[in-house]
Structure 1
Amino acid sequence: MEQQLARYYELKEIQKLVEEELNVLRNELIESYAEAGSAEEGEYKLSISYQERREFNDERLYNSLPDPSLWRLMSRADTGKIASLLKLNVIHEQMLTGTYVQRKVPVLRVQKC
């Protein structure tokens, strides 16, 4: 069992290092190719697209809800839960007006040709 614990710990440390390096490389690639949108380098094709994401303000969202018990369903401005409540027609898009800002988030994709 100790070997499993040691290996798990070792792998988590490696994962942390890999994620840090991926984040650095991602940021460098986005800075270098953001304007182009796509590029090919040797065997690899890079494409950068942008997704619109909402960043909610907890206080504004709370104040916009018609029933405080809805806030207990969310407990904080969680975009996944908010999307579910919208889909179920528990809340409506008009209620959310002014409670969030739209952010463009770059999505990086690298493929081997």
Structure 2
Amino acid sequence: MDTIVKRYYQLKEKQRETEQELKELREQILAFCTEKKTSEFAAGPFRVKLISQSRKEYDDAKLYEALPDLELWRLLSKSDASKIAGLIKLGVIQEDRLQNTYDVKQVTLLQVDKK
């Protein structure tokens, strides 16, 4: 069991290092795109594309005020944008009841594919 735990620890460390390096590389690619004022380019055999999205980030307190029904809160348990979108789609919640319960956050996704 010692070797399993040791290996797990090693892999978690490697994962943290990899995630940190990915973050730094992503920042450099985004800076390059900003500098060149582009959202798409080719780099050798790779194609880079930035995709802009808007995401709703709900405020739990404001959401609770807008949806005081405890049955709805049992379905949500906490504000989860995908669950809320599903309840809106199903007609359980009317979207206009949720106005002012969230902030819209712009997110840039980085997509790198091989040509």
Gaps of 5+ in 2: none
- Asked whether the equivalents of residues 53 and 104 of structure 1 are also in contact (C-alpha less than 8 Å), the reply is yes
- Amino acid corresponding to residue 95 of structure 1 in structure 2: R
- Asked whether the equivalents of residues 48 and 108 of structure 1 are also in contact (C-alpha less than 8 Å), the reply is yes
Is 2:81 aligned against 1:79? Answer: yes
RMSD, matched Cα: 1.6
- The Cα shift of 1:76 comes to 2.2
Q: Among residues 34, 46, 63, which one is paired with 2:48 in the alignment?
A: 46
**Which residue pairs with 1:88 in the alignment?**
90
Q: Which moved more, 1:64-73 or 1:23-32?
A: 64-73
Deviations along 1:58-86, one digit per CA (max 9) or x if unpaired, are 11111111513322332322112212222
- Asked whether the equivalents of residues 62 and 68 of structure 1 are also in contact (C-alpha less than 8 Å), the reply is no
Is 2:7 aligned against 1:7? Answer: yes
For the residue of structure 1 that corresponds to 2:111, the secondary structure is strand
Deviations along 1:20-58, one digit per CA (max 9) or x if unpaired, are 110111122112214301011222211001111001111
Report how many aligned residue pairs link the two structures.
113
Paired with 1:111 and 1:78, the residues of 2 have a C-alpha distance of 30
Paired with 2:84 and 2:16, the residues of 1 have a C-alpha distance of 30
- Amino acid corresponding to residue 14 of structure 1 in structure 2: K
TM-score where L is the length of structure 2:
0.87
Paired with 1:45 and 1:59, the residues of 2 have a C-alpha distance of 42
Gaps of 5+ in 1: none
